[in-house]
Structure 1
Amino acid sequence: MKIAIIVNPLIPVPPEQYGGIERIIYMLIQELIKTGHDVTLYAHPDSKPGCKLIPYSEEEHYSLKDFIRINRITAKIAHQGFDLVHTFGRMSNIALLMLSKIPKVVSYQLPPTVSQVKKAVKIARLHSLHFTACSNYIAGQIKDYCDVITIYNGVDIADYQCNDKMEADAPLVFLGRIQKEKGTAIAIQLAKKTKRKLIIAGNIPAEAIHQQYFNEEVKPFIDGEQINYIGPVNNVQKNELLRKAYAFLMPVLWDEPFGIVMTEALACGAPVIGFRRGAVPEVVTNGLNGFVCDTFDEMVIAIEHIGDISCTACRQVVEERFSSTVLAKQYETLYKQLIGK
C-alpha cells in the first residue's frame, strides 16, 4: 500500500524527549516499512522518519493563512496514487481531501471536539472518512456520531529492558510534565506517607501557572535525598530510570486519553499505580500489572502491595497488548479493510 501520514508540524518525528504522538507515528512508520508498505510523512521539517518526508510548518497561532497553504499541500495527495491518508493532526488540514473518495483515517490522541467530528462526517464523501481513538475512553466520546474503533498506543519493546526483580529499596518514579493535572505534588505526598524515595523526571511547562505550581507545591519538597528532581530525560535515561523503579506513579487529576508513559514503565517491568481517570483502567489491571485507585489512601495501600506484582507479568502485558507490532498490525488491518484489499 502507498500511505500518506500527516501530523501537526510542532515537534520532529521522532521526538528527542517529549512528544507522545510523534513517537507513536515513528513506530508505526517503521513497522509499516518492515512489512513492505510505501509511506510518506507530512511533518516538521527536522523530522527523520526513515521514509519520504514532505516538510511543512505552521505559524505559532494557527490562522486562515496556514489553513489555505497547508491544504494546497495535502490536497495533492488525492492525485498522487496514494491508497489511503492517515492523519494524527488537525482535520482542517485535510479539508479539501474530504471531497475525495480516497479513504481517510483520523486518529484521536486527545479528547475530540464533537462539533468538528459532526461537521467532517457531514461534508466528507460518503464512506470515505473513518476514525480511530487511542482508548475506549476517547472512542466513547464520538461513537454516536461516526465510525470509530479503538487502537491502543504502545511502545517498541526493543527500546526497553525489563528488570527481572525490583529491589526492596528501589525508588518510586514520577515521569511526566510537572503540572497539577499530572499529580506531581500527590506523588510527593505518597512518597512522604510511605517513607519511600521518589525520583521526579519531566519538563516544567513555560506557562506561568505551571511555573507557580512547581515553585509552590513541588520545589519546596525537593531535598536531594528522599525527593529528587532530575529534569527532562531522553530515551536512554528514561529506560534506566523506569527499569530501576519500585513502582511508577500515575496520580493524574484529569482524564488521561491513554498515557504512553504507563506502557513504557510496564515494558521496563515497573508496576503502575494510578487514579481511575480516563484510560488508566484500560491499561492497568489490579493485581496483575499494578493497581487502579480511587483515593489517596488506596494508593498508599497499593504501594505496600507492590511486592505482589511480577515484573515479568508487567512486561508481558505490553508484549501482548501494547507493542509497536500489535499497534501497526491493527492499523494495517484497518487500512486493508478500507481500501478493499
Structure 2
Amino acid sequence: MRIGITADPEIAVPPLFYGGIERIIDMIVVELLNLGHEVTLFANSKSSVNSQLIPYQSSGNSLKDVLNNSLLINNNRQKFDVVHSFGRLAYLLPIMPTKTPKLMSYQREPTIKQIKRGHLLSRKNSLHFTGCSNYITNQIKPYASAETVYNGVNFNKYTFSAVVATDAPLVFLGRIEPIKGVHLAVEMAIKTGKKLIIAGNIPEFYEPYFNEKIKPFLSDQIQYVGAVNDIQKSEILSKAAALLMPILWDEPFGIVMVEAMACGTPVLGLNRGAVPEVVVSGITGFFCNTVDELTERVTEINSINRLSVLEMAKSRFSAQVITQQYLQQYQQF
C-alpha cells in the first residue's frame, strides 16, 4: 500500500526526549517499511526516518501555519491509498470532501465538535477514527465510526531483566507536574521506605511545584535524575522494582507503562483513564482506586513474574501487533 502519515509539526520523528506520539509514529513507519509498504511522512523538518519525508515548512500554530501544512498534505494526496493522521484533524480539512481514505488516530482527548465537523464535511465512508484506548474511543463512537488501536513500543529497544536487586528502586518517569502525581510517588516511597528514582523534564510553569513538593524530599532515598533519553530510560526501568503511575488525570494511554513492561517491570497505577486497560492486575502490575491502596500493593510486587509481564505486554503492545491492527483499519475503506 501507499500510505501517507501525518504528524504534528512541533517535534521531530523520532524525538530525542519527550514526544510519546512521535515515538508511536516512528514505530509504525519502521514496521510498515519492514512489511514492504510505501510510506511518506509529513513531519518536522528535523525528523530522521527511512521513509520519504515531506517536511512541514513551519512548526508554528498560527492559522497561516495550519493552512500551509494542510495544503501541503492536500497537494500530495493522490499519491496515497490512505492518509493516516496522528496530527491535527484540521490538517485533513482540504481532503475531507475527496474520496481519499482518511484515518484519524486520537492520542489525546478528542474534541467532539471537531469530530462532528469532520464527519459532516467528509465524503461518506471516507473518514474513520481510532482511539489509543477504549477510554478515548468510547468518546468518539456516538458521533463517528471509531475503533481502538492501542499504542505500543519496539521491544528490541528495551533491556529485559528477569530479576532485580532486593533493594531495587521504585521509578517515576514523566513530566514533573501535579496531574502526573509525582508528589504521590514521593509519598509512597516515604511510607514504604523504598528508594525512588524520579526522571523527567520540569516545565517552567511547574518549577514552583517541584521546588515545594518534590525538592525538599530529595535524599539518598529519593533522587531526581532529570530528563532521560531512550538508553537511559531503558537502564532505569530495567533495574526498577516497579513503575509508579499515581496519576490525577485521565491518562489517554500512558506509553511509559508499556516501556516499563518491556523491561519486565510491573506497573502500579491509579484507576484513571486507560490505566485499567493497559495494566492487567495481578499479572503486569496493579491498579487501585486510592493512593493508600496502591501503597499497600508495593509489598506485593515480588509476586509478579517479570517474564510474564514481558510476554503479556508483547502479545498486546508490540510494533508488529499494533501495525497489523492499523493495516486492518486501512483495508476497511
Aligned equivalents of 2:57 and 2:10: distance in 1?
8
Structure 1 runs of 4+ aligned residues shifted over 2 Å read 57-60
CA offsets 1:128-151 (integer angstroms, 9 cap, x no match): 000011000000111100000000
User: Matches of residues 247-258 of structure 1 in structure 2 within 5 Å?
Assistant: 247-258=242-253
| Residues 85, 105 of structure 1: 8 Å contact kept | yes
State the 1:59 CA deviation. 5.3
Aligned equivalents of 1:214 and 1:288: distance in 2?
33
* 1:316 alignment partner AA: E
Aligned equivalents of 1:168 and 1:78: distance in 2?
56
Q: SS state of the match for residue 181, structure 1?
A: helix
Residue 83 (structure 1) aligned with residue 81 (structure 2): yes
Aligned equivalents of 1:122 and 1:213: distance in 2?
43
State the 1:337 CA deviation. 2.2
Q: SS state of the match for residue 140, structure 2?
A: coil
CA offsets 1:186-231 (integer angstroms, 9 cap, x no match): 0000000000100000000122xx11111110111112x0000000
Aligned equivalents of 1:104 and 1:298: distance in 2?
44
Structure 2 match to 1:218: 214
* 2:211 alignment partner AA: N
Aligned equivalents of 1:6 and 1:178: distance in 2?
28
* 2:56 alignment partner AA: Y
Structure 2 match to 1:74: 73
Residue 155 (structure 1) aligned with residue 153 (structure 2): yes
Q: SS state of the match for residue 69, structure 1?
A: helix
State the 1:57 CA deviation. 4.2
Structure 1 unmatched runs, 5+? none
Structure 2 match to 1:194: 192
Aligned equivalents of 1:215 and 1:129: distance in 2?
46
User: Matches of residues 212-251 of structure 1 in structure 2 within 5 Å?
Assistant: 212-223=208-219, 225-251=220-246
Aligned equivalents of 1:287 and 1:47: distance in 2?
39
Q: SS state of the match for residue 204, structure 2?
A: coil
What is the TM-score normalised by the length of structure 1? 0.96
State the 1:64 CA deviation. 2.2
2:275 paired residue among 272, 280, 286: 280
Structure 2 unmatched runs, 5+? none
| Residues 199, 230 of structure 1: 8 Å contact kept | yes
Structure 2 match to 1:331: 326
What is the TM-score normalised by the length of structure 2? 0.98
2:128 paired residue among 114, 127, 130: 130
* 2:303 alignment partner AA: D
1:264 paired residue among 259, 274, 278: 259
User: Matches of residues 19-168 of structure 1 in structure 2 within 5 Å?
Assistant: 19-58=19-58, 60=60, 62-79=61-78, 81-168=79-166
- Number of equivalences: 333
Q: SS state of the match for residue 199, structure 1?
A: strand
State the 1:94 CA deviation. 1.5
Work out the percentage of aligned pairs sharing the same amino acid.
49
Aligned equivalents of 2:64 and 2:136: distance in 1?
30
| RMSD of equivalent CA atoms | 0.9
State the 1:336 CA deviation. 1.8
State the 1:154 CA deviation. 0.7
CA offsets 1:82-141 (integer angstroms, 9 cap, x no match): 101000011111111001101000000000000100011001111100001100000011
State the 1:49 CA deviation. 1.4
Structure 2 match to 1:6: 6
